[in-house]
Chain A
Amino acid sequence: MYGVQKKALIITALVVAVVSAPFVNAQSEPLDDERIERIRQNCIVAQGSMQRILRSDVATRINRANAYESLLAQMAALNSRAALNQYSVPELAEQTRDIADTFILFKEEYQSYEIRLQAAIDLNCEEQPVTFYDAVVVAREARDKLSDRINIIEKDLDEYQLAIDELATLVKARDEEDA
């Protein structure tokens, strides 16, 4: 009987852990009183800095989006031209699709980042220094995700460059054959 109860408890604990996992927020390390006091004293200045970061990040977001859209249009044009001229380099289309997909995620994650950063800026940090610090950690993690997406796109662009090189080799070979 005792064994059955123990099993039931373990199963319940596992179910709770699995179900609640997506709702668990990233928590910062425990803060001691001295640190909390320091956060309380400096948080208004920190919020000013975060406001400046936010404004600069909006400009980066717009400039990056414009550059990606322009680059994707050029890549789609090359892919189309390669297909029309009967060249088969499937990596061209694959990498273009991957970059377009990551770009969509980047835009979505920027929205999420901005909401989190704005929430940290809007907090009454002098009254809630620990909540403020947790909000900063969450916003920082969201910002790191943007950085990760940019790195993924950079790697995909490197892969696309390899596909361009392959296409250029095929084009050169056909050109020499025709000459």
Chain B
Amino acid sequence: MNLARLRQFANRHLFLLAISGAVVVGFIMTLISMSLYFSSGASQLDLSRPGYEDVRAEVRDNQPANDFSPTGPLNPEIMDEFQELFDEQREALNSLSDYDDRAFTDKSLRIE
């Protein structure tokens, strides 16, 4: 009896139910994606957050000009080519901050 009534109600308000269903599914999907966004740590690296506009300019493109192929022969010239790429990447790393504590001392924060 109740099932028949329910079916009758659903038939009468089909459009409304479809819209409500879409909203509920959308809400659940949003909850899942937001939880993944925060739990994966992506939120911490998201530079589209308010206040991080100027940080975006500091992010560099660290892709080397040439990729080293995983296949092919190995000879002294190829080893030199790799060494050049390796040195280039290490130089790029050395030019970045290494989280030294100079900026984070009690003195620099004026709470000594």
- Contact (A175, B75) CB under 8 Å given A46-B111, A63-B60: yes
Number of B residues with CB within 8 Å of any CB on chain A: 49
A128 at interface, CB cutoff 8 A: no
> With a CB–CB cut-off of 8 A, which chain A residues contact B112?
38
- The answer to whether A78 touches B68, judged by C-beta atoms less than 8 angstroms apart, is yes
**Interface size range of chain A in the complex:** 35 or more
Q: What's the Cα separation between A101 and B111 when bound, in Å?
A: 36
Q: What's the Cα separation between A63 and B63 when bound, in Å?
A: 11
- The answer to whether A49 touches B93, judged by C-beta atoms less than 8 angstroms apart, is no
Q: What's the Cα separation between A167 and B86 when bound, in Å?
A: 14
> With a CB–CB cut-off of 8 A, which chain A residues contact B111?
38-39, 42-43, 46, 133, 136
Mark each residue of chain A from 114 to 144: 1 if its CB lies under 8 Å from any CB of chain B, else 0: 1000000000000000000100100110011
Identify which of residues 47-94 in chain A touch chain B, using a CB-to-CB cut-off of 8 Å: 49-50, 53, 55-64, 66-68, 70-71, 73-78, 80-82, 84-85, 87
Q: What's the Cα separation between A50 and B103 when bound, in Å?
A: 9
- Contact (A74, B51) CB under 8 Å given A57-B99, A147-B100: no
**How many Å from the CB of A24 to the closest CB on chain B?**
22
> With a CB–CB cut-off of 8 A, which chain A residues contact B99?
57, 60, 143-144, 146-147, 150
- The answer to whether B86 touches A164, judged by C-beta atoms less than 8 angstroms apart, is yes
Identify which of residues 53-93 in chain B touch chain A, using a CB-to-CB cut-off of 8 Å: 54-55, 58-64, 67-76, 78-79, 82-83, 85-86, 89-90, 92-93
Residue of B nearest to A84 (CB): B71
- The answer to whether A74 touches B109, judged by C-beta atoms less than 8 angstroms apart, is no
> With a CB–CB cut-off of 8 A, which chain B residues contact A136?
106, 109, 111
The chain B residues found within 8 Å of chain A, CB to CB, are 41, 44-45, 47, 51-52, 54-55, 58-64, 67-76, 78-79, 82-83, 85-86, 89-90, 92-93, 96-101, 103-104, 106, 108-112
Extra A-B contacts (9), CB below 8 Å, given A58-B44, A58-B55:
A42-B111, A57-B99, A63-B58, A66-B61, A66-B63, A67-B92, A75-B86, A78-B82, A84-B70
